[in-house]
Amino acid sequence: MIQITRTTQPKEKPDQHALGFGKYYTDHMLIIDYTAGQGWHDARIVPFGPLPLHPAAVVLHYGMEIFEGLKAYRRPDGRVQLFRPIENVRRMNNSARRLSLPTMDESLGLEALTTFVELEQGWVPSLPGTSLYLRPFLYASEPNLALHAIQEATYVLIASPVASYFSGGLTPVSIMIEDEDVRAVRGGTGEAKCGGNYAAATRAGDRAEAKGYSQVLWLDGVERKYIEEVGAMNVMFKIAGEVVTPKLTGSILPGITRKSAIELLKSQGVQVSERLISAQELLEAAANGALEEAWGIGTAAIISPIGSLSYQGQDYAIHGGKIGPVAQKLYDDLSGIQWGLKEDTMGWTVPIPAQA
Chain contacts with ligand PLP (rule: CB under 6 A): 69, 193, 229, 232-234, 253, 255-258, 298-299
Cα distance between residue 13 and residue 26, in whole Å: 8
Tally: H helices and E strands in the chain: 7, 18
Shortest reach from residue 127's CB to ligand PLP, in Å: 21
Closer Cβ to ligand PLP, 124 or 334, answer by number: 334
Shortest reach from residue 116's CB to ligand PLP, in Å: 19
Mention every residue, 6+ apart, whose C-beta is less than 8 A from residue 20. 162, 163
The angle formed by the CA atoms of residues 213, 219 and 221, to the nearest 5 degrees, is: 135
Shortest reach from residue 138's CB to ligand PLP, in Å: 15
Shortest reach from residue 124's CB to ligand PLP, in Å: 18
Cα distance between residue 231 and residue 295, in whole Å: 11
Shortest reach from residue 263's CB to ligand PLP, in Å: 13
Shortest reach from residue 69's CB to ligand PLP, in Å: 6
Q: With contact defined as beta carbons under 8 Å apart, do 198 and 205 qualify?
A: no
Give the three-class secondary structure for 169. Answer: coil
Closer Cβ to ligand PLP, 130 or 234, answer by number: 234
Closer Cβ to ligand PLP, 243 or 253, answer by number: 253
Burial of 76 (0-12, 13-18, 19+ CB in 10 A): exposed
Closer Cβ to ligand PLP, 57 or 253, answer by number: 253
Closer Cβ to ligand PLP, 283 or 300, answer by number: 300
CA distances from 159 to 27, 43, 45, 69, 329 (A): 9, 17, 12, 10, 29
Q: With contact defined as beta carbons under 8 Å apart, do 350 and 70 qualify?
A: no
Shortest reach from residue 338's CB to ligand PLP, in Å: 12
Whose CA is closest to 209, among 194, 233, 231?
231
Q: With contact defined as beta carbons under 8 Å apart, do 127 and 97 qualify?
A: no
What are the residues facing 298 on neighbouring strands?
Answer: 302
Closer Cβ to ligand PLP, 232 or 285, answer by number: 232
Cα distance between residue 317 and residue 168, in whole Å: 21
Closer Cβ to ligand PLP, 233 or 285, answer by number: 233
